[in-house]
Amino acid sequence: MSLKVDLTDQVAIVTGASRGLGKAMAIAIGRSGAKVACVARSADKLAETVSEIENAGGEAISLPCDVADRDSVEATVDAVVEKWDRLDILVNNAGITRDTLLPRMTDEEWDDVINTNLRSAFLMSRAASRLMMRARYGRIINITSVSGLIGNAGQTNYSASKAGLIGLTRSLSKELAGRKVTINAVAPGFIESDMTAALGDSIMDQVKKQIPAKRIGTAEEVASAVLFLASPAASYITGHVLTVDGGMTG
């Protein structure tokens, strides 16, 4: 079952929209009537996402962007406003991993993850919030992780970036609530992806035993959570972290 939300005439930016969760989110938002700017480093990798939205009757564009670079981010937001004259929804989903134990972690592995996962959300949210405050309406959804709530060995950089997103979400929600701009986060647990598939059946069987739901989630289930928080129905929800993890974090 898919969530039915009407986002007609709204405009959204989804970062990391070329694959996985970001692709599912962009498609769900596009199918709900919003115009979607699909953002990633490579325009070529965004073509399939844009095509699926258009095939479903929606409108979308691809915008290559280095989400950790201020000038690139501001140019991307300017391009969206120039094309569609507004910005209603921002989904900060861009993220990478550079997993290793902390004593072996390089400066570059730390910086790459913090810049892509956390700095990008700061830059995008700052640019978007200025527009949303003037319009007195907006939805910003940050994609964090259960790793940001409970930590994970070998992922100190990733967990720190995702915990930082939670702090950003809760602080910014207090700043913008009076302007009718909501800031929320979605924290997925184990979700079907190329990354989980690479772990192999034996490891995933062990993982499933630790999840009360006894299964891993789908990208579409995460997208439905994002879709709800992006909708007018979530107007009184802000500063919240919605876990989508089958009960993993209780």
Catalytic machinery residues: 158
Measured distance CA(58)–CA(32) in Å, rounded: 8
Tokens of 245: 């993890």
Instruction: Burial-class residue 210 by CB neighbours within 10 Å (0-12, 13-18, 19+).
Output: exposed
CA distance readout (Å), 61 to 80, 84, 183, 191, 223: 9, 11, 24, 26, 19
Measured distance CA(218)–CA(96) in Å, rounded: 19
